[in-house]
Amino acid sequence: MQDIIIYLTTIILSALFDLYLVNLLGGVKIERRQLLVVSSVLVLATIIALYDVWATFLANLFEALFFYKYFSKNNKLLLLNSLLLAFFTDIFLDSIDNLLESSFAGYSQIFSLGMSLLAYFLIIIAIQKNRERLIKNFTSKKTGQPLFCLLVYLYVSTFLLNLAVLYNKWFYSPTITLSVLIVIQTLFAVIMFWFDFHIQKGLLNQQEEELREKYLQDLEKSEDTIRRFKHDYLNLLASLRESAQSSRDKALLEELADYSNTEINDPNLWKYKSLNHINNHALKGLIIDKLDRMNARKISYSLECAQEITDLPAEVKLFDLIRVIGIALDNAIEESELLLQETGDAGWVRIDIMLYQAQPQELEFVVKNRCSQGNKIKLNEIAQKGISSKTGHKGYGLANVHEIQDKYENMYIEYGISDDYFTFSMAVS
């Protein structure tokens, strides 16, 4: 009789824990008029769970469906993740309890109840301390659905392992049970890969949108500067006409020249010159990102792209093409930063970039940067993994470039040093 009471107390404790979590994390606020319905459902779920281990699974399913439908106005993903966390905690603690009971002869039900109370208490404290972070992760577009799949996987796999190992109950047969576990693991891996792919794609789209917005904002600022310059220039010309007969001609002309040089040579005005000729969003986004890095680090640069870049080579994957150009630009920026630290001469450090497309499906890319070590750099070594001319650098950049180049017969990579300039060029035909 005592064992039955303790077992019933444990199940009620589990139901109350589930209710507490959906309130704490799931945002479920139970009103007085709803209390009778919720209590009845929890009592019914408890009665179902008393039958056997399979009934516990059905009780959890029944409980989840009830909360999902009855509190449909709440955030459903948050509610489901909260319930799954509660269910997994219950079944995990049940597994530990059964494992201890089977391992130690003197393990009593009273001790089991005490351990459960302590475990739930510690888990509740941990969840309360991390409540905001859990809610954020449970509802985030990046992590909410992957966490849902992870919790489903953990719950189902732990339940099946409990059946097989602790209760010695197989799903029809040991072979079928193990096969089901393998299928679940495979499905979980495929689903997580799918989520990871779409999350990465979403992040790239978000970054591309942010870069495009920054590009447009800078274009608007440049347009305002040009408009202001035009207005001021016309006023100065009017002043020049009025003073054509006076002795102030020379002074006014010098003032006009100084003003023109100051405004026209403002580097922020020409920061994104030629980018309008690049019609591929991914390539344009990459170039904007690298130019922003150069501008932020006070590295002088030039970008030449006189022809329209329309159709990129179809035989080369866009991701590989972007990687090669990104590695080359990163190397140029890192070397320029090092050179700037060594010399302190911002006027001497420089990066020149050129993009050219003679016809669609072709692309030429060249980047030149001053290098600090000149002829000391051994070109036959820096393309090897683990070897780099940069201090503290692992040296995987050019090695990765060559691995990509080996995949395509129509990709040609060259690099060399001349007059303290390191030149990297790529041609895809």
Res 352: pLDDT: 92
Percentages helix, strand, coil for the chain (3-state, rounded to 5) are 70, 10, 25
Question: Strands 411-418, 363-370: parallel, antiparallel or unpaired by DSSP?
Answer: unpaired
Query: Among 92-106, 174-188, 192-206, 221-235, which is the least confidently predicted range?
Result: 221-235
* pLDDT band with cut points at 50, 70 and 90 for residue 395: very low
Instruction: Lowest mean pLDDT of 16-25, 117-126, 349-358, name the range.
Output: 16-25
Provide the pLDDT confidence category of residue 392 given band limits of 50, 70 and 90.
very low
Strand partners, 150: none
Give the bridge partners for 421, in sequence order. 370, 418
- Most confident by average pLDDT, 47-51, 87-91, 179-183: 87-91
Token pair for 289: 């990102």
Tell me the one-letter amino acid at 44: L
Q: For residue 245, what pLDDT is reported?
A: 46
The per-residue pLDDT for 366 is 95
Q: Average pLDDT of 259-271? A: 52
Could you tell me which CATH class the domain 272-429 is placed in? alpha beta
Give pLDDT, residue 260.
55
* pLDDT value at 424 more than 90: yes
**pLDDT at site 364:** 93
CA distances from 223 to 260, 269, 300 (A): 16, 9, 22
pLDDT at 242 exceeding the cut of 60: no
* pLDDT at res. 270: 47
Domain residues of the chain, as ranges?
Answer: 2-169, 272-429
Distance CA 47, CA 43 (A): 6
The whole-chain average pLDDT of the chain stands at 76
Backbone angles phi, psi at 369, to 5 degrees: -145, 145
Convert the pLDDT of each residue in 267-293 to its tens digit.
544 455 667 788 887 788 788 888 888
Identify the pLDDT of residue 229. Answer: 55
Q: Closest Cα to residue 383, out of 337, 340, 424? A: 424
State the pLDDT at residue 185: 67
At 254, the pLDDT band (50, 70, 90 cuts) reads low
Residue 158 is predicted with a pLDDT of 80
Q: Please determine, for residue 365, whether its predicted confidence score (pLDDT) is greater than 90.
A: yes
Average pLDDT rounded to a whole number, residues 405-412: 91
Assess whether pLDDT exceeds 50 at residue 67.
yes
Q: Does residue 408 contact residue 389 with C-beta atoms inside 8 Å?
A: no
Q: What is the CA radius of gyration of the chain?
A: 34
pLDDT band at residue 73 under the 50/70/90 scheme: confident
Q: Which position has the higher pLDDT, 161 or 115?
A: 115
Q: Is the pTM of this model over 0.85?
A: no
Residue 114 predicted with pLDDT over 70: yes
Is residue 184 predicted with pLDDT exceeding 90? Answer: no
Q: Which residues contact 379 (CB under 8 A, 6 or more apart)?
A: 415, 416, 417
Residue 49: pLDDT band by 50, 70, 90 thresholds? confident
Residue 301, pLDDT score: 86
Cα 89 to chain centroid, rounded: 29
Question: Residue 420 above 80 pLDDT?
Answer: yes
Which candidate, 368, 287, 367, places its Cα nearest to that of 322? 287
* pLDDT tens sequence across 190-234: 676 666 666 666 666 666 666 666 656 665 565 556 556 555 655
Average pLDDT in the 371-397 region?
A: 51
Alpha-helix residue ranges (DSSP H) falling in 50-130: 53-70, 76-103, 109-129
Average pLDDT, stretch 248-274? Answer: 55
pLDDT confidence of residue 203: 62
Write out pLDDT tens, residues 280-337. Answer: 877 887 888 888 888 888 888 888 888 888 888 888 888 889 889 999 999 899 988 8
Q: What is the mean pLDDT of residues 90-101?
A: 80
Check pLDDT > 70 for residue 14.
yes
Residue 389: predicted pLDDT: 45
Token output for 79:
């509610």
pLDDT of residue 211: 62
